[in-house]
């Protein structure tokens, strides 16, 4: 604290549970310590640094009634936290902090966003823009609609400027990507449109704070204001300053002709769009009433606006389906950033839009943490696709796919995947993704799921890998759905048009082996060595990593393809747009237990936005000081440029540049004989990166970098720490180099680029075209830079710079691309007027009516809200208008010879009415002002500083024709009258300060008097408030004493008069008795009666005066009693509130403790399980090589045994066949033997007979021939 507080002062003290707790000072102790009494009755001794002043607010609601936190008397962390907490408990979720809107997520539906609310904020915006109502117009509470309306009004106020300098004309779309084809590397084309009338609404906050829903509300409101019925030329504030009459006539004629042509073109576009939508819709209803030709060009233009509005709003379900997922912090977390641009014509009609996306979280496609899910679309497909189509795509359930099994529950509470899928399909039709394209999309996404199920194994005893036998079915499914089995040639792919996806998949037959093509692309790559191409085979782990990389690149390019389709649908049609409002929905500052490359990029983004936020807030303060004529010297704001240099610097190299360097230096292929695992290689890269970062960034010459602390533990753990504006964050180096490189080797890219899936093929072709465009842009920038250097005498080298830049652009890393995108984004934002919305997540349970104060404070710090408060407190944070200052503090005018309170008040009234003399007696006349002019002077910043972005109501020039000389004269007269009134009020304020005594008047240098306000330092204003309270107390005591003395004097006079009358009555009675005359007696009696009547009247007056005095005293006593009772009641209520708050905190602490215990238990179990897995993984890593050899040997042995078994089985079959053959042979042999025996017997018999005959013949012949001669018969 800046100064000690008296006993009884209300304060805030630091509290471990509530962050800041309400207390009252009891007494100041020794050594700068103070004893305070807490609301629960306990005492605590605190130091000066642990205590802040607290305003003891009166009235119902207290801090909850403050719509703008800058109006709090004490503007610090405790007061802001208390106000937000009190408002949240009353379901008041929106609070302003100057130009920043704080939105606390209620986690419930609130009746704040119906059409009536849109109309209310729209009408008030129109009235304020036209300068109608002033302060008499009751302000609506802070709201996201009010912020959107403010952006729209700021755009329209300046829309009459030089349109030729800022026109966003339609540009031809490169290769079908569409004009303004953002999201996938295409620029929205806004850099060529610098204009202060362009606006940006920046929505930020941590995951679960409600950024996406807030963005939807902003889009909805701006879309409503961009409808033709809202932008009627007869509506309030429609007239704006234009060119002179002669120029305006020509411009008007040209604009009318252009509008007529554009309306005719819109008619054709509307009919074509309706036909396309109707044809694409499976139910034939996508086009609706747009299917019929419009009756008139005006109707066609309105149809075009309605079509753009629907497409913009319906792009959210599409992008959420493929870009949102369940995390531990948010059930519908956006895992990408987006910049949505709403393009408006000069008359405020919505003409088109564009979307650019940033940093889609690719790792979630293949891996999710415990309790989390992958992207919604995978679960929606399983729940919403028809059963026949699910069977055709091979979708048998979420739990059957590897890349979805790691996460948490399949179904989410409060989300219906079936309903969401139907909404997604309908939204796709609206944004121009027809039925045929959706069929290609479902096939591609299903192919990704099946590709994630593919596993790889060692290819026998040789080096390399192959698809495992048990996942060949998944590989076949993936190849068929992604079209790897039906490739097209590069020439055919290059010759395809933008309608390649218009034809539905025909399910044609394969032209090659899809599994072989997939395996060949993922299990090795070709390396050029001395002009020769040498193929390097991958290990199973490397092949698995290559498959995951291919999955990520296919999915991310599909997401970019959808963004391009949305941009094609919503781009401006056939006319120029004059201005735009951008809505940035970006990830908030993140810090987790383990932070990696994603968190580094996210926090780098927030550092950049925070610097812009600080500069903008500082600029607003400076402009107000300058417009008021207040000294601005000596006030500085915190600049985090050193953090940005640490991250994005090039000379010297920052973190991103050093990561890029490690990406270039890492080996492209494994060396022969390298047996390290992929995890060991990644750890080695992490160690090298960590060492490089600490050596280069921790400080030179033995010094230290306060933004980059170092130490042996960080080096040992391969981590580095960055001191961000929101706190210290430690990042783990493991995996950063690989994530930054995000490489997919050429074989896999070629496989996907020429695949048979038309959507995937087109997505790759558009991405390659975007890379070529980026390279061309980089080369053009390099040429321009080289030309500038040459013109400045820098010499040559331009050719080398161009070649180097083009080469770098063609090999852009993730970090370099994101840095370039962020630079382009900030280039657009810096040329616009920003409007900030900070979303706050009240609790981690995502439950309504619960606020966790420590978490809220942390988010306020991370969101820069407290930094905005700090900037607002610089210099003279308390600003009081002159009229209010004189009206409230006139009782402090006590110096003789100066104007007193009554004269000062009269001077203020005269100044507000315009024309009376001031308190110093000088003539201060002037022209009579318009009604409500004083409100502009008394309202804090109602008129605004000239040229201040986002300020002012546009009071001048909104009520008539700006070309009319009479209007100009009236504006000048009103301006002069306003200046005269401000001067009168300023003199009144100066006179009041001069009349104050030295004890009351603030010290010199603690205040300054501006043109419309008095600026105070906090301490001076607090002193002034105490003096006013004391003066008002003294005045009350004096008034009471004067009343008592006056009534006592009147009572004494009445009693004296009564005594005189009684004496006269006695004298009259004596005179009557002495005279004896009847007439004299009658006259005396008559006189006596008259005197008695007067006496009775005097008595009655005296009694009345006494009764009045008694009544007054009774009223005073009753007032004292009531005040005492009220004070006692407030004390009792405070104690009851404290008791209830204590009970609430106890219950909350109990719930929190239970939650933390359960979380600790689950965390412990998870850590144990993780440790077990790490241990198993470590063992696996240590034994992997031996295991692979043993596995190879076992497989070889198994193959040998299988071969032997097969041979044995064949031999067994052969033996069985032989046995059967032998059995049959034996049967045949037996019959043959019997036949042979019979034939042998017959032959023997014949032989015996023949022998006998032969002997007989021989004998006969011998006998005939003689001895020694034998002749055959």
Report the distance separating Cα 676 and Cα 685, nearest Å.
13
For 1037-1103, the DSSP string reads HHHHHHHHHHHHHHHHHHHHHHHHHHHHHHHHHHHHHHH--HHHHHHHHHHHHHHHHHHHHHHHHHH
The enclosing H or E element of 1014 equals: strand 1013-1016
CB contact at 8 A, 758 and 746: no
Report the distance separating Cα 773 and Cα 453, nearest Å.
36
DSSP secondary structure code for residue 915 in this structure: -
208 assigned ligand-binding residue: yes
CB contact at 8 A, 730 and 595: yes
Report the distance separating Cα 768 and Cα 120, nearest Å.
48
* Burial of residue 865, with CB atoms counted within 10 A of its CB: 0-12 exposed, 13-18 middle, 19 or more buried: buried
Give the Å distances, CA to CA, from 206 to 201, 537, 643, 969, 1201: 17, 44, 20, 52, 61
Report the distance separating Cα 203 and Cα 955, nearest Å.
28
* Burial of residue 918, with CB atoms counted within 10 A of its CB: 0-12 exposed, 13-18 middle, 19 or more buried: buried
Report the distance separating Cα 158 and Cα 199, nearest Å.
11
Nearest CA-CA partner of 206 in 867, 854, 862, 834: 862
Long-range contact list for 4-12, CB < 8 A, 24+ apart?
4/28, 4/34, 4/48, 5/34, 5/51, 5/53, 9/53, 10/53, 10/54, 10/55, 10/56, 11/36, 11/51, 11/52, 11/53, 11/54, 12/51, 12/52, 12/53, 12/54, 12/78, 12/79, 12/82
For 66-99, the DSSP string reads -SBGGGSSS-SHHHHHHHHHHHHHTT--EEEETT
Give the length of the chain: 1273
Radius of gyration for the alpha carbons in the chain, expressed in angstroms and rounded: 46
205 assigned ligand-binding residue: yes
CB contact at 8 A, 111 and 105: no
Report the distance separating Cα 840 and Cα 205, nearest Å.
6
Give the Å distances, CA to CA, from 1127 to 65, 560, 1133: 21, 65, 10
Which residues, at least 6 apart from 184, have a Cβ–Cβ distance to it below 8 Å?
Answer: 177, 357, 557, 560, 561, 563, 564, 766, 767, 770
Report the distance separating Cα 411 and Cα 318, nearest Å.
19
212 assigned ligand-binding residue: yes
607 assigned ligand-binding residue: no
Nearest CA-CA partner of 1145 in 78, 80, 84, 18: 18
Please state whether beta strands 456-458 and 579-585 pair in parallel, antiparallel, or not at all (unpaired): unpaired
170 assigned ligand-binding residue: no
424 assigned ligand-binding residue: no
Nearest CA-CA partner of 29 in 41, 45, 43: 45
User: Residue 1128 CB: number of other CB atoms within 10 A?
Assistant: 10
Residue where the block lists tokens 């902003």: 218
The two three-digit tokens of residue 1053, written as one number: 């006079």
The two three-digit tokens of residue 323, written as one number: 């870009």
Alpha-helix residue ranges (DSSP H) falling in 666-813? 678-697, 712-716, 736-741, 746-753, 758-791, 798-810
Helix 882-889 to helix 901-913 angle, to the nearest 10 degrees?
150
209 assigned ligand-binding residue: yes
922 assigned ligand-binding residue: no
Report the sign of the C-alpha dihedral through residues 1228, 1231, 1234, 1239, in that order: negative
The enclosing H or E element of 53 equals: strand 51-53
For the annotated binding site for ATP, the residues are 205-212
Residue list, annotated binding site: 205-212
């Amino acid at each position: 604290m800046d100064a000690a507080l008296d006993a009884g002062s209300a304060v805030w003290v630091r509290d471990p549970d509530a962050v800041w707790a309400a207390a009252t000072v009891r007494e100041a102790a020794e050594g700068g310590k103070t004893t305070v009494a807490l609301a629960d009755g306990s005492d605590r001794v605190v130091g000066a640094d642990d205590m802040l002043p607290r305003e003891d607010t009166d009235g119902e609601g207290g801090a909850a009634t403050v719509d703008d936190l800058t109006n709090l008397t004490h503007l610090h962390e405790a007061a802001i936290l208390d106000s937000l907490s009190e408002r949240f408990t009353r379901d008041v979720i929106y609070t302003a902090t100057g130009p920043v809107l704080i939105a606390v997520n209620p986690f419930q539906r609130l009746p704040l966003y119906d059409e009536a609310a849109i109309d209310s904020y729209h009408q008030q915006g129109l009235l304020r823009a036209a300068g109608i109502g002033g302060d008499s117009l009751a302000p609506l509470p802070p709201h996201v609609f009010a912020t959107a309306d403010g952006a729209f009004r700021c755009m329209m106020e300046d829309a009459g400027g030089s349109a030729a300098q800022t026109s966003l004309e339609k540009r031809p779309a490169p290769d079908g990507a569409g004009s303004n084809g953002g999201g996938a590397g295409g620029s929205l084309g806004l850099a060529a449109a610098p204009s202060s009338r362009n606006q940006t609404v920046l929505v930020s906050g941590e995951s679960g704070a409600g950024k996406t829903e807030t963005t939807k509300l902003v889009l909805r409101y701006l879309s409503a204001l961009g409808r033709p019925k809202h932008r009627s030329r007869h509506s309030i504030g429609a007239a704006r300053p234009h060119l002179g009459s002669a120029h305006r006539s020509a411009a008007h004629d040209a604009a009318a002709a252009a509008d007529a042509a554009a309306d005719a073109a819109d008619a054709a576009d509307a009919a074509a769009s309706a036909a396309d939508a109707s044809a694409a819709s499976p139910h034939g209803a996508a086009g609706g009433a747009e299917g019929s030709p419009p009756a008139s060009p005006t109707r066609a233009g309105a149809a075009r606006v309605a079509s753009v509005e629907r497409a913009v709003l319906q792009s959210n379900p599409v992008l959420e389906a493929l870009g949102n997922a369940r995390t531990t912090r948010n059930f519908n977390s956006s895992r990408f950033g987006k910049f949505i641009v709403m393009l408006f014509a000069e008359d405020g009609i919505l003409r088109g839009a564009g979307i650019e996306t940033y940093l889609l979280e690719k790792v979630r496609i293949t891996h999710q943490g415990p309790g989390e899910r992958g992207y919604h679309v995978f679960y929606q497909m399983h729940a919403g696709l028809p059963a026949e189509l699910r069977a055709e795509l091979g979708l048998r359930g979420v739990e059957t796919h590897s890349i979805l099994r790691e996460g948490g529950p399949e179904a989410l509470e409060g989300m219906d995947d079936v309903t969401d899928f139907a909404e997604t399909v309908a939204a796709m039709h609206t944004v121009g993704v027809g039925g045929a394209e959706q069929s290609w999309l479902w096939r591609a996404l299903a192919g990704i799921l099946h590709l994630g199920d593919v596993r790889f194994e060692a290819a026998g005893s040789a080096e390399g890998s192959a698809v495992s036998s048990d996942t060949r079915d998944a590989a076949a499914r993936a190849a068929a759905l992604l079209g790897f089995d039906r490739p097209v040639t590069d020439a055919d792919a290059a010759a395809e048009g933008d309608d390649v996806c218009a034809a539905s998949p025909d399910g044609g037959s394969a032209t090659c082996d899809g599994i072989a093509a997939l395996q060949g692309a993922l299990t090795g790559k070709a390396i050029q060595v001395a002009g020769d191409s040498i193929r390097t085979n991958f290990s199973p782990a490397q092949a698995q990593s290559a498959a995951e990389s291919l999955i990520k690149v296919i999915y991310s390019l599909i997401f970019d393809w959808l963004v391009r389709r949305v941009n094609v649908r919503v781009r401006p049609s056939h006319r120029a747009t004059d201005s735009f409002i951008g809505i940035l929905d970006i990830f908030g500052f993140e810090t987790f237990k383990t932070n990696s490359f994603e968190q580094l990029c996210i926090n780098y983004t927030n550092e950049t936005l925070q610097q812009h936020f600080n500069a903008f807030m500082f600029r607003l303060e400076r402009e107000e000081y300058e417009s008021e004529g207040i000294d601005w010297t000596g006030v500085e704001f915190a600049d985090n440029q050193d953090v940005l240099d640490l991250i994005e610097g090039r000379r010297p190299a920052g973190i991103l540049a050093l990561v890029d360097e490690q990406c270039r230096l890492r080996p492209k292929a494994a060396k022969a004989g390298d047996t390290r695992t992929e995890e060991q290689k990644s750890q080695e890269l992490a160690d090298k990166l960590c060492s490089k970062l600490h050596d280069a960034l921790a400080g030179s010459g033995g010094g230290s970098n306060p933004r980059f602390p170092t130490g042996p533990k960080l080096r040992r753990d391969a981590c580095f720490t960055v001191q961000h504006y929101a706190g210290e964050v430690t990042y783990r180096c493991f995996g950063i180099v690989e994530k930054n490189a995000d490489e997919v080797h050429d074989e896999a890219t070629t496989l996907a680029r020429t695949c048979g899936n038309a959507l995937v093929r087109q997505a790759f072709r558009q991405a390659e075209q975007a890379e070529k465009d980026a390279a061309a842009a980089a080369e053009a920038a390099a040429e321009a830079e080289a030309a500038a250097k040459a013109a400045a005498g820098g010499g040559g080298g331009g050719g080398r710079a161009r070649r180097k830049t083009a080469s770098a652009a063609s090999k852009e890393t993730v970090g370099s691309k994101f840095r370039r995108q962020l630079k382009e984004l900030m280039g657009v934002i810096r040329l616009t007027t920003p409007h900030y919305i900070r979303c706050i997540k009240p609790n981690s349970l995502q439950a309504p009516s619960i606020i966790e104060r420590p978490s809220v404070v942390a988010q306020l710090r991370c969101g820069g809200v407290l930094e905005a408060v700090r900037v607002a407190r610089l210099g003279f944070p308390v600003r009081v208008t002159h009229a209010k200052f004189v009206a409230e503090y006139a009782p402090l005018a006590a110096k003789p010879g100066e104007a007193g309170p009554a004269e000062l008040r009269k001077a203020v009234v005269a100044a507000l009415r315009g024309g009376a003399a001031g308190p110093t007696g000088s003539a201060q006349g002037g022209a009579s002002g318009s009604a409500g002019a004083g409100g502009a002077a008394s309202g804090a910043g109602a008129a605004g500083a000239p040229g201040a972005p986002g300020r002012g109501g546009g009071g001048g020039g909104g009520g008539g024709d700006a070309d009319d000389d009479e209007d100009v004269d009236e504006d000048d007269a009103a301006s002069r009258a306003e200046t005269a009134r401000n001067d009168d009020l300023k003199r009144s304020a100066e006179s009041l300060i001069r009349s104050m005594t030295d004890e009351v008047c603030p010290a010199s240098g603690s205040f300054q008097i501006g043109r419309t306000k008095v600026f105070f330092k906090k301490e001076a204003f607090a002193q002034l408030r105490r003096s006013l309270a004391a003066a008002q107390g003294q005045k009350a005591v004096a008034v009471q004493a004067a009343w008592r003395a006056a009534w006592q004097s009147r009572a004494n006079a009445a009693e004296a008069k009564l005594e005189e009358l009684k004496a006269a009555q006695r004298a009259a009675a004596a005179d009557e008795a002495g005279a004896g005359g009847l007439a004299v007696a009658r006259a005396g009696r008559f006189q006596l009666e008259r005197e008695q009547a007067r006496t009775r009247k005097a008595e009655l007056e005296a009694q009345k005066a006494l009764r009045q005095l008694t009544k007054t005293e009774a009223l005073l006593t009753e007032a004292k009693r009531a005040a005492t009772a009220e004070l006692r009641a407030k004390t009792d209520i405070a104690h009851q509130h404290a008791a209830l708050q204590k009970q609430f905190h106890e219950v909350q602490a109990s719930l929190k403790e239970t939650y933390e215990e359960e979380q600790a238990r689950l965390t412990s179990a998870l850590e144990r399980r993780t440790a077990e897995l790490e241990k198993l993984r470590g063992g696996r890593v240590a034994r992997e090589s031996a295991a692979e050899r043993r596995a190879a040997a076992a497989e070889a042995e198994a193959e040998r045994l299988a071969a032997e078994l097969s041979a044995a089985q064949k031999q067994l079959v052969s033996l069985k066949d032989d046995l059967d053959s032998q059995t049959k042979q034996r049967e045949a042999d037996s019959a043959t033997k019997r036949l042979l025996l019979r034939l042998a017997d017959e032959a023997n018999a014949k032989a015996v007979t023949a022998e006998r005959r032969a002997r007989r013949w021989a004998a006969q012949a011998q006998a005939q021939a003689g001895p020694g001669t034998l002749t055959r018969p």
